[in-house]
Amino acid sequence: MENLVIYIISDSLGETGEQVAKASIGQFNLKNYEIRKYPYVLDKQFLDEILNDAKFQNSIIVYTLVDLELANRTSKFCEENNIPGLDLINPLIDSIRSRTNLSPLREPGIIRKLDEKYFKRVEAIEFAVKYDDGKDSRGLVKSDLVLVGISRTSKTPLSMYLANKNIKVANVPLVPEVPVPKELFEIPNKKIIGLTNTPEKLNQIRQERLKALGLSGNANYANMQRILEEIEYAETIMKKLGCPIIDVSNKAIEETAGLIINIMKENGLRVYKGFLNS
C-alpha cells in the first residue's frame, strides 16, 4: 500500500491537528504513514509550497487556519486536486458565531496564548507555595515581591491571591526569636512590603485560631503582651528595610492586594496587565 502522508497545516503550533491525526490513525492497523506538521503558516507563499508538495503524495490535509483567506485557499486546493481536506476550526467558529451573534477575533495562536497565561499562573501559585512562611530564603531573590509581617497578618492568603495575578510572591514571618534571613537585606527594598495589624485584632484572630486547633486561648501565642512585643519587633525590622507598611486590620484581601499592586506600579515593578482582571 502506498505510504499515507497526513499534512498538518496551522497558523500556530499545529498541536491540535497533530493530536487529532494521531488519535484517528490509532483506530487503524496502519504501518505506512507519515505526519508532516507545518506550524506558523501565515502567508500564501508558504501555504502554496506545502499544498503543491501534498499534490504529489497520497495525502490528507488537516488544517487549523483562522485566516479565512488561507483556509478558503486550502479548501479550494483540496477540492480541485481531489485531496481529502479537514478544516478543524472554522466550522466550529461559524457555529459559535451563529449561536452568539458575536464576531470571531480571527487571531492566530490565541489558544497557545491562553495556555501560556494559564501555565504562568500555575507557576506563580507553585512559587507562592514553595516559598511560603519563610520555607526557603533563596526564593526571596527570585520573587517579584516579598511580604513580611508577624503571624496572622494575611501573608499567605495575600501571596496566593497575588499569585493568581501572576505575581511571584515569597513571604517571611517576623518572629523575635528567629533571625531574619540575610537575603531580605540583599534585595531592593521596593520589592518588600510589610504587613501589620492592630493588637486587638491580632489577639482576637489568634484566640480563634487556638480554639480551632483545640488549644487554650491563654497560650502565649495570643497573649497581648507577646503580641505587642512582636509588633514592636516587626516595625523595627520594617524600618531597617525601609519598606512600605500596610495595616490589614480592616481590609479585605482584595483591598490589600489592590494597594500592593498600586505600590508595585509606583515603584516601577513589573505587573502583568493581562492577569489583573482575571
149 known ligand binder: yes
Cβ atoms within 10 Å of 224's Cβ, excluding its own: 12
* Rounded CA separation 153/247 (Å): 9
* DSSP type of residue 188: -
Q: Which residue has the cell 491580632?
A: 202
Please give the Cα distance from 244 to 192 (Å, whole number): 8
Residue 154 counted as an annotated binding residue: yes
> Hey, what's the cell of 168?
511571584
Distance, in Å, from the CA atom of 240 to the CA atom of 198, rounded to the nearest integer, reads 21
Residue 226 known to bind ligand? no
> How far apart (Å, rounded) are the C-alpha atoms in residues 47 and 51?
6
Is residue 155 within 8 Å of 147, Cβ to Cβ? yes
Note whether 177 and 196 are within 8 A (CB).
no
Nearest to 66 by CA among 43, 99, 95, 93: 93
Q: Has 153 been labeled as part of a binding site? A: yes
**151 annotated binding-site participant:** yes
Contact 44, 68 (CB under 8 A): no
Q: Is 98 annotated as a binding residue?
A: no
Q: Quick check: 246 and 259 in contact, CB under 8 A? A: yes
Give all strands of the β-sheet with 245-247 in edge-to-edge order.
Answer: 169-173, 145-149, 192-196, 245-247
Phi, psi of 6 (to 5 degrees): -105, 120
Is there a binding annotation on residue 217? Answer: no
Annotated binding site: 149-156
Annotated binding site for ADP: 149-156
